[in-house]
A and B are shown apart, each in its own frame.
Chain A
Amino acid sequence: MSDRAIEKMVSVMKEQYGNPSSLYRLGQTAKEVLEEAREKVAKIIGAETREITFTSGGSEADNQAILTAAKLGEAKGKKHIISSAFEHHAVLHTLKKLEKEGFEITLLDVHEDGLVRPEEVRDAIREDTCLVTIMFANNEIGTIQPIREIGAICREKQVLFHTDAVQAIGHLPINVVDDNIDMLSASSHKFHGPKGVGFLYAKKGIRLSNLIEGGAQERGKRAGTENVPGIAAMAEALTEAVENLDSYTKIVQARRDRLIEGISEIPHSALNGDLKNRLPSNVNFCFEGIEGESLLLLLDEKGIQASSGSACTSGSLDPSHVLLAIGRVHDVAHGSLRLSISEATTDEDVETIITSVKEVVEYLRGFSPIWRDLMAGKKEFIL
């Protein structure tokens, strides 16, 4: 977490611990902290303060945005929603639920490069389409979607456009007006704020449906006493992230590119997702002949914390739906590695990571029966 965010959180907990719904002075001070945070967040994304609703995180914001659009659509007899095959489960599972309630869902192909094609969005829009929801950047492979173009098509067709921007906000410049966004979800811990806080931007005029009923907090759209310290710290973290965005992008992107270059030297490996339209922090590879969990555990032994789309890391039998969506077959999707870097990752770290990944992949291939068959020509290389 960012030091500035931690300091802000502590100071609000110590000094402004009143309930913003109370009339006594301490309550009103807390209310001021809350509204100040709302102003900061709104300004950063080019929104108006009343368009920001604080939530418990990105998942809640995704749920609320989609269910809102579904309800508005249903009232007009429009029950068709367009999304993509590799959305976050907060989106996909909500859509599944709506499907059971009679909605029709179109999941667009994300192609081998992990990018939605705006023209395919246009072609998929029908008379009864009530929502297009496409993530700003993918959480596993980091590909940045053509949001502005998709938004423009939705405007033209008068269909609501929501984007799950959890991975993008604080990492990419976002302006909801310029980018033609009607609703946007964000989560604080993705930009070094505290966990359990997020927000939903909804363009004025969109009547949000409640997920949580109760008091009149958040203009009656999200009941429950506000997490004031968390919200204030989130606004602080986002402010800091945006202040440093230019230098962050330059530095982190250069290190990402070096990592990709170094890891690409491993034979029969492949980068997942487009190289150019990619979050500065994201590196994601598939390696043939090895399994991801053992790769992660061995890297962890070397002090490198990574993640994988392997089934074994998720407790299910299927590997990552994102990797399958970009056309990776099960055999290689199990052998994936995701590295997320930040300003704190030094040039030296980058070189250590490259060396370690090379060593570990070679070691695991050394006793992999699949690798043996591949090398002996009994099986064909996929990558």
Chain B
Amino acid sequence: MALYSEKVMDHFLHPRNVGVIEDADGVGEVGNAKCGDIMKMYLKIDNDIITDVKFETFGCGSAIASSSMATEMIKGKPVSEARELTNKAVAEALDGLPDYKMHCSVLAEEAIKSALEDYESKK
């Protein structure tokens, strides 16, 4: 049996929204190198709508896939909706993650929340 679902592998091998937004309206970074995972999210927000999102991730396959999936789930959505995104929803959208990899989806949720907080604080 494979370690990851096909969806995880797809998002890991072909991550969506990879990169940096230089003039981002909100940036969030979570995790630390000591634990082996860092996620950084960049948001472009116009009229409370997330018009663009990019990510950079240092981490394992499921961390990269979780970041990729999370960006897809909030792109084009209102800020209020993005704030409601849960790690469970990210994991489910990936057709599940192994138990010991669930923290990767938690990091994705936290990275988005952190970027949104940064956006709010700048308003």
Binding site for B on A (CB under 8 A): 289-294, 297-298, 301, 310-313, 315, 317, 319, 330-331, 334, 366-372
Residues from chain B with a CB closer than 8 A to the CB of A369 are 29, 38-40, 56-58
Residues from chain A with a CB closer than 8 A to the CB of B55 are 367
Number of B residues with CB within 8 Å of any CB on chain A: 27
Residue of B nearest to A372 (CB): B56
9 interchain residue pairs of minimum CB distance: A293-B60, A312-B60, A334-B36, A331-B33, A369-B40, A330-B34, A369-B56, A368-B58, A370-B58
Q: Are A370 and B33 in contact (CB under 8 A)?
A: yes
Residues from chain A with a CB closer than 8 A to the CB of B1 are none
12 example contacts (A-B, Cβ-Cβ < 8 A) are as follows: A291-B37, A291-B63, A293-B60, A310-B60, A311-B36, A312-B101, A315-B100, A368-B38, A368-B58, A369-B29, A371-B58, A372-B20
- Across the interface, B61 reaches (CB within 8 A) one of A294, A311, A334, namely A294
Known: A301-B13, A369-B56. A330 touches B61 (CB 8 A): no
Q: Are B38 and A370 in contact (CB under 8 A)?
A: yes
Known: A315-B100, A331-B33. A297 touches B12 (CB 8 A): yes
B64 at the interface (CB under 8 A from A): yes
Residue of B nearest to A332 (CB): B33
Q: How far is the CA of A297 from the CA of B38 in the complex (A)?
A: 18
Interface of chain B, main secondary structure: mixed
Q: How far is the CB of A213 from the nearest CB of chain B, in Å?
A: 37
Name B17-64 residues within 8 Å CB distance of A: 18-20, 29, 33-40, 55-61, 63-64
Residues from chain A with a CB closer than 8 A to the CB of B12 are 294, 297
Q: How far is the CA of A313 from the CA of B36 in the complex (A)?
A: 11
B96 at the interface (CB under 8 A from A): no
Q: How far is the CB of B12 from the nearest CB of chain A, in Å?
A: 7
Q: In the complex, which of the residues A289, A297, A310, A371 has the most CB atoms of chain B within 10 Å of its own CB atom?
A: A297
Q: In the complex, which of the residues B9, B55, B64 has the most CB atoms of chain A within 10 Å of its own CB atom?
A: B64
Known: A368-B57, A369-B56. A291 touches B36 (CB 8 A): yes
Q: How far is the CB of B101 from the nearest CB of chain A, in Å?
A: 8
B78 at the interface (CB under 8 A from A): no
Q: How far is the CB of A190 from the nearest CB of chain B, in Å?
A: 24
Q: Are B36 and A310 in contact (CB under 8 A)?
A: yes
15 more CB-based (< 8 A) A-B contacts, given A293-B61, A367-B18: A294-B63, A297-B9, A298-B13, A310-B36, A311-B36, A312-B36, A312-B59, A315-B100, A366-B18, A369-B29, A369-B38, A369-B56, A369-B57, A370-B38, A372-B20
Q: Are A294 and B64 in contact (CB under 8 A)?
A: yes
Q: Are B60 and A291 in contact (CB under 8 A)?
A: yes
B15 at the interface (CB under 8 A from A): yes
Q: How far is the CA of A105 from the CA of B61 in the complex (A)?
A: 38
Residue of A nearest to B65 (CB): A294
Q: How far is the CA of A297 from the CA of B9 in the complex (A)?
A: 9
Residues from chain B with a CB closer than 8 A to the CB of A312 are 36, 59-60, 101
Q: How far is the CA of A317 from the CA of B18 in the complex (A)?
A: 26
Q: Are A290 and B36 in contact (CB under 8 A)?
A: no
Known: A293-B60, A294-B59, A297-B61. A367 touches B33 (CB 8 A): no
- Across the interface, B58 reaches (CB within 8 A) one of A291, A297, A313, A330, namely A291
Q: How far is the CA of A366 from the CA of B55 in the complex (A)?
A: 11
Q: Are A368 and B56 in contact (CB under 8 A)?
A: yes
Residues from chain A with a CB closer than 8 A to the CB of B34 are 330-331
Residues from chain A with a CB closer than 8 A to the CB of B100 are 315
